[in-house]
């Protein structure tokens, strides 16, 4: 039996909701990245990219896996999914993956800042 972290408390529904919300976020940012690099692409392909890195992130957090290893695994899986789904060269796949990382960081920071700002409002 594997012992989870002491701080990882939540119902299965809350964990599934977290994975789902993060997968949706990563799918949206994957579509933004692919559309900016490749032009007009299908939205449904991006929805296949997001769930795997989201699952890696939640599993790594739950089992206390090193963050750098989890990020590296998520980026490798993300690049593999982008390369498989969009069928481009390795160089173009690496470029789309890099843009996906950048868009995810920027949009994530923006959303976090907005939520923090709204949460700290008086009244």
Q: What is the mean pLDDT of residues 45-64?
A: 91
Would you state the structure tokens that stand for residue 3, as one six-digit string?
């012992």
pLDDT tier, 23 (very low <50, low <70, confident <90, very high otherwise): very high
Let me know if residue 2 belongs to a domain. no
The predicted-structure confidence for 55-99, as pLDDT tens digits, reads as follows 999 999 888 899 999 999 999 999 999 999 998 899 999 999 999
Domain that residue 35 falls in? 13-119
Residue-averaged pLDDT of the chain: 89
4 pLDDT higher than 70: no
Query: H/E element holding 90?
Result: helix 90-119
C-beta of residue 86 within 8 angstroms of C-beta of residue 33: no
| Domains: count for the chain | 1
Number of residues assigned to the chain = 123
Let me know if residue 3 belongs to a domain. no
- What is the per-residue pLDDT for 10? 72
Ranges of H-type helices in 9-50:
12-38, 43-49
Nearest residue to 46 (alpha-carbon basis) of 58, 55, 56, 35: 35
pTM of the model: 0.84
Let me know if residue 4 belongs to a domain. no
Let me know if residue 6 belongs to a domain. no
Which one has a higher pLDDT value, 6 or 54? 54
């Amino acid at each position: 039996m594997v012992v989870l972290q002491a701080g990882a408390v939540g119902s299965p529904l809350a964990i599934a909701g977290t994975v789902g919300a993060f997968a949706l976020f990563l799918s949206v940012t994957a579509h933004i990245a692919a559309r900016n690099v490749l032009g007009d692409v299908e939205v449904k392909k991006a929805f296949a990219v997001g769930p795997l890195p989201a699952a890696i992130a939640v599993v790594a957090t739950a089992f206390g896996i090193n963050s750098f290893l989890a990020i590296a695994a998520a980026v490798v899986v993300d690049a593999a999914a982008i390369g498989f789904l969009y069928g481009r060269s390795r160089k173009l796949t690496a470029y789309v993956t890099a843009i996906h990382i950048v868009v995810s960081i920027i949009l994530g920071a923006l959303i976090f800042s907005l939520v923090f700002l709204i949460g700290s409002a008086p009244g």
